[in-house]
Amino acid sequence: MQVPAQVEYEQAASVEHALDLLARSGPEARILAGGHSLIPMMKLRLAQPETLIDINGLSELAFLEVTGDELRIGALTRHAGLLAAAGAGEHFPILHDAERVIADPVVREWGTIGGSLCQADPSEDLSAVFAALRATMVIRHPAGIRTVPAREFFTGPYETVVAPGEILTEIRVAIRPGGGSSYQKVGRRVGDWPVGAAGAALWLDGDVISGTGIGLTAVGARHFVAAEAEEFLRGRPATEENFGRAGQIAAENCQPVSDQRGPAEYKRHLASELTTRALRAALRRAAPRRAGGQRRPGDG
Ligand SMILES: Cc1cc2nc3c(=O)[nH]c(=O)nc-3n(C[C@H](O)[C@H](O)[C@H](O)COP(=O)(O)OP(=O)(O)OC[C@H]3O[C@@H](n4cnc5c(N)ncnc54)[C@H](O)[C@@H]3O)c2cc1C
């Protein structure tokens, strides 16, 4: 049985206290959220922190609310909490699409949104979701807060802009009219990590695409935003033909690798097909609101 190396354990009583503990413990200290990634990595000795700073008691980080024209998600919100939040799914169905297919109920009950993002696994689902939604990450440090676009949050596989001594505290998503969103994932079995997945958000002005966000996951060693496909769509009509072309552009620009989940060419095919499907579903969800009508059954 694999056992982690010996480690100091501290329980934070507030975000300020956690920051203070991080500062006093040095660069080898790590935040402990749900522990679903960190503890297995410690057992395998892939991570050997000297100190764990447990933030599970910090109710100030476990919130989910609409404030003005923003959805705010505290970093300690559990996957299950996000899935259960009707308001989040109403504004951004992509969040519930993704949460329904992340792991299993046990992992979702304990794993956190902040932990998933800070783990920065290139196969992680929420990175693509928040890139598509053009969300903003809020990071606390001893001198205050800084905000970073979700698209600039990941600096490489398992790396983010969160520096030693900092904590991700929340994710903010702007609520804009005329929008629709969707997440499409293919896994080998229920609850598994994706073979490939794509998230898309669309904002419409009549039938013309005024803004879009497309994020893909598991299509390369780095987190991938389909910027050229987004650029292609902006200002064009929301048609099946344009969605298909955007999918092709996304597939041409990503860099999937063959691994135990599938060959690179299959993943490239998924990048195209799932991007197109996500755009199509995002349009279905945006259209009834544009027309001021009711959403149709199955629109999600
Ligand atoms: C069996 C299994 C299947 C899974 N399947 C999927 C899947 O299909 N799709 C998917 O997307 N994910 C999947 N996951 C990951 C899961 O979603 C967890 O949420 C994820 O492992 C990390 O969340 P956590 O809260 O457990 O973080 P932890 O393990 O506690 O922390 C992870 C890392 O983030 C750091 N950290 C945590 N919170 C903060 C913070 N607020 N500020 C700064 N640093 C922080 C920690 O120091 C650590 O380095 C799976 C996990 C398991 C165990």
Structural domains of the chain in order of their starting residue, each with its CATH number: 8-54 (3.30.43.10), 59-174 (3.30.465.10), 179-289 (3.30.390.50)
pLDDT top residue among 297 and 275 = 275
Percentage of the chain exceeding pLDDT 90: 91
Per-residue pLDDT at 4 exceeds 90: no
Read off the pLDDT of residues 146-163 as tens digits, 9 standing for 90 and up: 999 999 999 999 999 999
H/E run at residue 132: helix 125-132
Phi-psi region of 105 (alpha: psi -120 to 50; beta: other; left: phi over 0): alpha
Q: Exposed/middle/buried for 38, CB within 10 Å: 0-12, 13-18, 19+?
A: buried
CA of 205 to the centre of ligand 1 (A): 37
The predicted pLDDT at position 159 comes to 97
* Mean predicted confidence (pLDDT) in 193-221: 95
CA 296 to chain CA centroid, Å, is: 27
pLDDT top residue among 93 and 287 = 93
Per-residue pLDDT at 220 exceeds 60: yes
User: What whole-number distance in Å separates Cα of residue 194 and Cα of residue 174?
Assistant: 27
Instruction: Return the best residue to mutate from 10, 30, 38 for the ligand 1 pocket (most ligand atoms within 8 A of CB).
Output: 38
CA of 235 to the centre of ligand 1 (A): 37
User: What whole-number distance in Å separates Cα of residue 243 and Cα of residue 118?
Assistant: 31
Residue minimizing CA distance to atom 15 of ligand 1: 116
Side-chain-side CA neighbours of residue 177 (13 Å): 6
DSSP state of 144: E
* CA of 117, closest atom in ligand 1: 34
Residue minimizing CA distance to atom 19 of ligand 1: 111
User: What whole-number distance in Å separates Cα of residue 101 and Cα of residue 121?
Assistant: 16
CB-based contacts of 22: which residues, under 8 Å, 6+ apart?
A: 29, 31, 53, 164, 165, 166, 167
Read off the pLDDT of residues 64-104 as tens digits, 9 standing for 90 and up: 999 999 999 999 999 999 999 999 999 999 999 999 999 99
Beta strands per DSSP E along the chain: 8-11, 29-32, 51-54, 64-67, 70-74, 136-141, 144-149, 154-156, 159-160, 167-174, 179-187, 194-205, 208-217, 224-225
Per-residue pLDDT at 300 exceeds 60: no
The predicted pLDDT at position 128 comes to 97
CA of 78 to the centre of ligand 1 (A): 10
List ligand 1's pocket residues with C-beta within 6 A: 30-38, 75, 102-103, 107, 111-112, 114-116, 118-119, 124-126, 162, 167-168, 193
H/E run at residue 264: helix 264-290
Residue 287 pLDDT class (50, 70, 90 cuts): low
Residue minimizing CA distance to atom 46 of ligand 1: 31
